[in-house]
Structure 1
Amino acid sequence: MTAVLTEAEVATAAAPRQRRRRASGALAVLPLLAFTAIAFGIPALAMLNGAFTVKDQTTGATSYSTTNLTASLHGAYLTALVGSVELSAVSAAIGTVLGLLFAQAVVTSRFRVLREAVLTASGVLANFGGVPLAFAFVATLGNSGVLTRRLGLTDKGWSLYSFWGLVIVYLYFLIPLMVLTITPALDGLRVQWREAAQNNGATTVQYWRHVALPVLLPSLLGGFVLLFGSAFAAYATAAAMVGSAVPLVTLQIADAISGNVLVGQENVALALSLDMVLVAGLVMAVYLPLQRRSTRWLA
């Protein structure tokens, strides 16, 4: 005679197996957690400790205070922080829009070779920065650059060593990064949604306004956050190209550490780094709740 198990008995029998799976899963994650704690936790604690530590230059005594944080939010430091936020926001916004347009053109293209070529090139260009990128733009659009002389851009008021010049340079690697980020989300848009919109009399603009963009909005914000962070943390390109012509927080941190401004400002540099972390955290706080919605729709 065959015994029939109830749902409660099946659940009771499966409970030990599920607990073993959770335990094995937790053990598998331990190496990653340990690496994260060492690679990110220790530097973060050191940054926090240094940001709140004040050293007396006369006696060498140290104490905890908010003096460094206060200094990082005044004068040239505040100007640099605001300048970095403005530059990163403008560059990320333009890069998000242009990257979306390029990615959509690639996704809808009938030529698979073109898609693969664009994505491969985007992967290379997204990681091309620093001094080589600055040199390339100086040789092309600098005061004596090839295009500057041929097009007479200097007479028209063009200057690469300015806010908008730096935006153009940043877009060189931000747009490819956005193409790589948003392409999977565009692939997740279902053909049935467009067909249903067309069957209900919706135009292409209405489809994008009421269907595609609301679904893509979290992914677009995620791409914006990624671009914002890349531009916000960029240092070598700006240092090699504009120097102190454009106030940026990364350049101020480098000056404070090296003592180019005042001796003993290393902890102010750590306070500026903490300010950068807080700005990035605020941007991520906006993005994370919307990411869950995007995952549900595009799954």
Structure 2
Amino acid sequence: MTVVTPHPDPVAPAPGVRPVPASRRRTSLPGRDLLGVVPFFAFVVVFLAIPTLVVVIGAFTSDSGGFTLDNLSAVGTSYILEAFGRSILLSAVTALVGAVLGGLLAYALVTAKPDGVLRRVVTSAAGVLAQFGGVTLAFAFVATIGLSGFVTVFLQDNLGINIYSHGVWLFELPGLLLVYTYFQVPLMVIVFLPALDGIRPQWREAAESLGGSTWQYWRMVAMPLLAPPFLGATLLLFANAFSAYATAAALVSQGSPIIPLQIRGALTSEVILGQQNLGKAMALGMIVVVALVMWLYAVLQRRSSRWLG
């Protein structure tokens, strides 16, 4: 004879526990889970969506308020294209130099103890220096290697070395290359370090157990895995340098060698009036370039997350 034990009611309260009256049960309000992200969406709308919309509309608006393509046509003039070219060159060079130096520094940190003092100090310093930009960074370089900086004066008075014998390069494009590299290297450390941490020691042990050399491990295992995040981090550095403004504005007082300074001149010019919408057209060009770069970055990140996630 088979005795069938009734299955316990899944909603029945445990023995000794009094059920909560229906009137006191908490009901979930529609959209309640989204309340926590409302401040974030508000921030994105106010500081990203609305300014982008203003730029896009202004790029196609004439001085009289009508629709026009003259602003976009003016972006094709020689001096604006040259500014775009210098901005792309500045961003590409500093991104490559920052990626190489920052990648090597990140690899050195991976070989150290994960919870060691050295790694914690370097990562903390990288987090601070990556955000150390704008007028503060420009002043630091002017005070250090400017025309009257203490390093410049020391080299001139004690060693007879004049670092400005071929021109005042700090306040031109070469100076921007040096200053931008200063904050690109620590940013690369922060971005690329998680990818290096994702490389599992078991993969190297497996390669060695199969008779593979160190070069074969890096060429056939580590490098294919690290290539997408490395390229993605380089693209992120490019976008970071391409959109930087405050540091260049503080260093370069005359002329507009890069496109952010050209936009400033178009928006604040007192010589040629009616260039506000031309500045918005140039800003639209910057948005297109940054959007393309960040799209490629997202593609590479999705590819690398399959293995390093």
Fold match by TM threshold 0.5: yes
Matches of 2:258 and 2:268 in 1, distance apart?
16
My pick for the range that moved more, 159-168 or 268-277, is 159-168
Report the AA paired with residue 56 of structure 2: L
2:106 is the alignment partner of 1:103: yes
Matches of 2:86 and 2:127 in 1, distance apart?
28
Report the AA paired with residue 52 of structure 2: A
Cα distance, 1:136 vs. partner?
A: 1.5
SS in 2 for 1:64: coil
Between Structure 1 and Structure 2, which shows a larger proportion of helix residues?
1
CA contact under 8 A between 1:161 and 1:245: conserved in structure 2? no
CA contact under 8 A between 1:50 and 1:271: conserved in structure 2? yes
Residue of 249, 259, 269 corresponding to 2:259: 249
Report the AA paired with residue 109 of structure 1: A
CA contact under 8 A between 2:60 and 2:69: conserved in structure 1? yes
Cα distance, 1:72 vs. partner?
A: 1.7
2:102 is the alignment partner of 1:125: no
Cα distance, 1:168 vs. partner?
A: 1.3
Residue of 163, 180, 183 corresponding to 1:154: 163
Matches of 2:164 and 2:137 in 1, distance apart?
25
CA contact under 8 A between 1:87 and 1:167: conserved in structure 2? yes
Residue of 71, 74, 78 corresponding to 1:71: 74
Residue of 279, 289, 292 corresponding to 2:289: 279
Question: What's the CA shift string for 1:103-149, capped at 9, x where partnerless?
Answer: 11011113710000001111111111112211221222223433334
CA contact under 8 A between 1:54 and 1:63: conserved in structure 2? yes
Matches of 1:164 and 1:204 in 2, distance apart?
39
Residue of 50, 53, 59 corresponding to 1:42: 50
2:62 is the alignment partner of 1:54: yes
2:180 is the alignment partner of 1:177: no
Cα distance, 1:86 vs. partner?
A: 0.9
Name the Cα RMSD after superposition. 2.5
CA contact under 8 A between 2:133 and 2:183: conserved in structure 1? yes
* Structure 1 equivalent of residue 223 of structure 2: 213
Cα distance, 1:84 vs. partner?
A: 0.7
> Identical aligned pairs, as a percentage?
47
CA contact under 8 A between 1:244 and 1:251: conserved in structure 2? no
- Quick one: structure 1 residues 24 and 200, their matched pair in 2 at CA, closer, same or farther if it must change by over 3 Å? farther
Which consecutive unaligned segments of at least 5 residues does structure 2 have? Answer: 8-27
SS in 2 for 1:267: helix
Question: What's the CA shift string for 1:161-212, capped at 9, x where partnerless?
Answer: 3323211111111111111111111111100111122233333333223222
CA contact under 8 A between 2:263 and 2:283: conserved in structure 1? yes
Question: What's the CA shift string for 1:202-247, capped at 9, x where partnerless?
Answer: 3333322322222122221221122112211111211221334561
SS in 1 for 2:47: helix
- Quick one: structure 1 residues 156 and 213, their matched pair in 2 at CA, closer, same or farther if it must change by over 3 Å? farther
2:173 is the alignment partner of 1:163: yes
Question: What's the CA shift string for 1:229-286, capped at 9, x where partnerless?
Answer: 2211111211221334561111011111111452110111111110000001121232
Question: What's the CA shift string for 1:23-61, capped at 9, x where partnerless?
Answer: 869845872445533432222211111110011xxxxx3
Which consecutive unaligned segments of at least 5 residues does structure 1 have? Answer: 5-20, 56-60
- TM-score normalised according to structure 1 size: 0.83
- TM-score normalised according to structure 2 size: 0.81
Q: Which has the larger radius of gyration?
A: 2
Matches of 1:62 and 1:167 in 2, distance apart?
39
My pick for the range that moved more, 160-169 or 42-51, is 160-169
Cα distance, 1:85 vs. partner?
A: 1.0
Number of equivalenced pairs: 277
CA contact under 8 A between 2:75 and 2:81: conserved in structure 1? yes
Alignment of 1:23-38 (within 5 A): 27=34, 31=38, 32-33=40-41, 35-38=43-46
- Quick one: structure 1 residues 198 and 54, their matched pair in 2 at CA, closer, same or farther if it must change by over 3 Å? same
